[in-house]
Amino acid sequence: MTAIIEAEDLVKLYPADGAPLRAVDGVDLCMGAGESVSVMGPSGCGKSTLLHLLGGLERPDAGRLRLAGQSTATFSEAQWARFRRAHIGFVFQAFHLVDELTAVENVELPALLIGTPRPAARRRATQLLERLDVADRAGYLPHRLSGGQKQRVALARAMINAPALVLADEPTGSLDSGATATLLALLRGLREQGQALLIVTHDARVATIADRLLTMRDGCIVDETRLGDGERTVSFASIVGLEEQ
């Protein structure tokens, strides 16, 4: 299996009264192409900080990180920006859509930034919006979208360049049960395309679609559970609460 993430002894410190706060404290993580990993734990345990380190939004104070076979140790800000555009898709809880752009323009923007011709970028963006059932909102500015619609637009934007790695921070936080089922089905489909998926979540329904579940406490990974193997296989319908009891 091709390694997408190879993280060794990652540490992130933040200033605090007395000793620095170790937001991420010696984390090791390896993920392969087509693998999905979910991360759960209490608020403040370091889940989102770990995701930010893996995506280059923050820099580790110690440790080593390789993404898609490349060491990130000497990446400049410009190199990180180029790498993210081509290889990483982000889905944030806060959406981070560009207010001045329509839904379809938000989705196609990352493709344009890596040089995709506009007609091709627009076709791909429209297809993704259709898959996420928000094509009828393609021409709407973000302020005219509901929270769930914004989240689906954000996911489409994350997938526009078919990234090797998708990093999702509470991706279903603004969705109802029906939209959650649609979103989870799409996330599960990333495996078939060879894309790696790391999900930070508080929702057990979301966590259990992954191959592995990591539990964090105080900046450390304290438990790892493999999901969906043998007798432990859980059906998608039961995960999202669609099966009859």
- In this prediction, residues 206-221 reach a mean pLDDT of 93
User: What's the pLDDT at 228?
Assistant: 65
Residue predicted with more confidence, 57 or 148: 57
Three-state SS annotation for 147-166: HHHHHHHHHHHHHCCCCCEE
- Locate the domains of the chain by residue range: 3-239
What Å distances lie between residue 218 and 96, 186, 202, 224, CA to CA?
27, 31, 16, 15
pLDDT at 5 over 50: yes
Mean pLDDT for the stretch of residues 58-71:
95
**How far, in Å, CA of 92 to CA of 86, rounded?**
18
pLDDT of residue 217: 96
pLDDT digit string (tens) for 111-130?
Answer: 999 999 999 999 999 999 99
Give the pLDDT band (50/70/90) at residue 75: very high
pLDDT of amino acid 148: 82
- Quote the tokens at residue 40: 């759960």
Give the sheet arrangement for strand 70-71, strand by strand.
Answer: 21-32, 3-14, 62-67, 70-71
Question: What are residue 112's phi and psi, to 5 degrees?
Answer: -65, -35
Q: Which tens digits make up the pLDDT trace of 16-29? A: 887 899 999 999 99
Report residue 183's pLDDT band, with 50, 70 and 90 as the boundaries: confident
Q: For 3-239, which CATH class?
A: alpha beta
Alpha-helix residue ranges (DSSP H) falling in 135-221: 147-159, 177-189, 204-207
User: Do residues 155 and 91 touch, judged by C-beta distance below 8 A?
Assistant: yes
Q: How many CA atoms lie within 13 A of 191 on its CB side?
A: 12
Asked if pLDDT for residue 34 goes beyond 80, the answer is yes
pLDDT (average), residues 173-194: 75
Distance from first CA to last CA of the chain, Å, rounded? Answer: 38
* Mean of per-residue pLDDT scores for the chain: 87
CB neighbour class for 139 (10 Å; exposed up to 12, middle 13-18, buried from 19): exposed
Would strands 21-32 and 70-71 be described as parallel, antiparallel, or unpaired? unpaired
